[in-house]
């Protein structure tokens, strides 16, 4: 199937759900990404700052870019003037820097931030524990931030075909979301996203309450990391 057909397929699959598609374009050049753009898609995800900056420069500026990979504090400045959402916020230190950089470029719209919670059992994956997310939201620093807004949680499930395990991890993330919502965002409509599910497991994630699936190879084909 062509990229356009893949985009239309997901549009169809998601149209009667509250879930949106983040088209993950990492490793694919701008002209390929443009095919998805020309099919009407406007929400794209990248996991590396340099690649994100390049594609932002090369592609139309009505794209909402989501950073979905680990972000080092010293790189926030490269994306602070255009990024729509940083899904991979995994420390208070990083959030402080994002808020600071957004203020420095005088953003009129806050940077949307999502708290990445670690839900997989692989120790290598980034993300906070639920308790760390709570501590962040309770901090004095967070309370005085005016240039960011927290829009939800994000998680990367274990790379496995074990459906029971995947459902368990997705359910855990949804529970984290609901607890944080009740405790910190009860009357705050900004906090509404649960970003979970990728090419291999998005249907399960959707069943478990995902509001944002992040699909790369299922749209653009397999990635070649060596070129």
Ligand X SMILES: *Cc1c(COP(=O)(O)O)cnc(C)c1O
DSSP classification of residue 128: B
Nearest distance in Å: CB 6, ligand X: 11
Cβ-contact 77, 144 below 8 angstroms: no
From 26, 28, 55, 56, residue interacting with ligand X (rule: CB under 6 A): 26
Which run of H or of E encompasses 24? strand 20-24
When asked if residue 199 is in the footprint of ligand X (CB under 6 A), the reply is yes
Q: How far is residue 152's CA from residue 61's CA, in Å, rounded to a whole number?
A: 24
| Alpha-carbon span 114 to 151, nearest angstrom | 6
Number of residues that bind ligand X (CB under 6 A): 14
The residue range among 59-67, 132-140, 179-187, 212-220 that interacts with ligand X, by the rule CB under 6 A, is 212-220
> With binding defined as CB under 6 A, does residue 215 bind ligand X?
yes
Tell me which stretch binds ligand X (CB under 6 A): 89-97, 100-108, 160-168, 194-202. 194-202
Are 180 and 134 spatial neighbours (Cβ–Cβ below 8 Å)? yes
Token duo for residue 192 = 């509404």
Of 22 and 145, CB closest to ligand X = 22
Listed ranges 5-13, 131-139, 204-212, 214-222: which one lies at the site for ligand X (CB under 6 A): 214-222
218 is a site residue for ligand X (CB under 6 A): yes
CA distance 181 to 59: 35
For residues 83 and 66, give the distance between their C-alpha atoms in angstroms, rounded to a whole number: 7
- If the CB atoms of residues 58 and 159 are measured against ligand X, the closer one turns out to be 159
Interface residues toward ligand X, by CB under 6 A = 24, 26, 47, 68-69, 156, 198-200, 214-218
């Amino acid at each position: 199937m062509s990229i356009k057909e893949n985009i239309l397929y997901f549009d169809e699959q998601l149209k009667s759900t509250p879930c949106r598609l983040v088209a993950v374009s990492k490793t694919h050049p701008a002209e390929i990404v443009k095919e998805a753009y020309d099919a009407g898609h406007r929400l794209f995800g990248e996991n590396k700052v340099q690649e994100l900056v390049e594609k932002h420069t090369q592609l139309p500026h009505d794209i909402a870019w989501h950073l979905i990979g680990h972000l080092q504090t010293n790189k926030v400045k490269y994306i602070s003037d255009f990024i729509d959402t940083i899904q991979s916020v995994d420390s208070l230190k990083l959030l402080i820097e994002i808020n600071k950089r957004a203020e420095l470029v005088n953003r009129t719209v806050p940077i949307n931030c999502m708290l990445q919670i670690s839900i997989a059992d692989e120790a290598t994956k980034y993300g906070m524990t639920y308790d760390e997310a709570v501590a962040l939201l309770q901090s004095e620093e967070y309370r005085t931030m005016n240039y960011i807004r927290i829009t939800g949680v994000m998680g990367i499930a274990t790379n496995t075909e074990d459906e029971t395990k995947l459902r368990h991890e997705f359910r855990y993330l949804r529970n984290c979301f609901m607890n944080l919502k009740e405790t910190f965002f009860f009357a705050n409509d900004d906090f509404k996203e649960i970003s979970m599910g990728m090419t291999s497991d998005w249907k399960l994630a959707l069943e478990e309450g995902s509001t944002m699936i992040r699909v790369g190879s299922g749209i653009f084909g397999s990635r070649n990391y060596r070129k």
